[in-house]
Amino acid sequence: MTISAQSRSDAGLATALRISVSRLARRLRVERIAQGSIAQELSDTQLAALAALERHATMSPGELAEHEKVQPPSMTRVIAALEERRLVTRMAHPTDRRQVVLTVTAEGRDLVHQTRRLREAWLARRLQELSPQERATLRAAAPILEKLSQS
């Protein structure tokens, strides 16, 4: 295969993945909004930041911004919205008094768990509609998609 043919092939794969991943993300977003909880009031960025805090226990605002691949001023607005809803709290940094660390509240943790549970249940139902071979292909692709999302 020539390099130009491979480029076209890679470009075609990129287009197909972009469209499919975007549609799936949109469907998951619609499902979250349909739940009718406070989760529908949060933006995707707010919910992602809340979930990251739930996974990592504590993070500084800068660490959270870096983790979520957003600029610090944007994360400041996200944190303010989450604090206003009492989903996260700020505490003094244990070793550097100039900094703060963020932690998720019990209400925030419950919201993340509920949202995650409902989204995964919806996706599990959709996966049951696929053949065993299709599910095996997705199982093999999941780590690759994660790698792409982290690069």
Task: Going from the first residue of the chain to its last (151 residues), give the mean pLDDT of each consecutive group of 10, the final group possibly shorter.
Answer: 56 86 86 68 89 92 92 93 94 83 94 88 92 94 88 73
Q: What is the DSSP letter of 99?
A: -
**pLDDT on residue 3:** 47
The Cα-based distances of 30 to 22, 23, 81, 91 in angstroms read 12, 10, 21, 34
Q: Which three-class secondary structure state does DSSP give residue 103?
A: strand
**pLDDT on residue 39:** 67
**pLDDT on residue 35:** 66
Q: Domains (ranges, CATH) in the chain?
A: 3-150 (1.10.10.10)
**pLDDT on residue 7:** 46
Global pTM value:
0.76
From CA 105, how far away is CA 54, in angstroms rounded?
A: 9
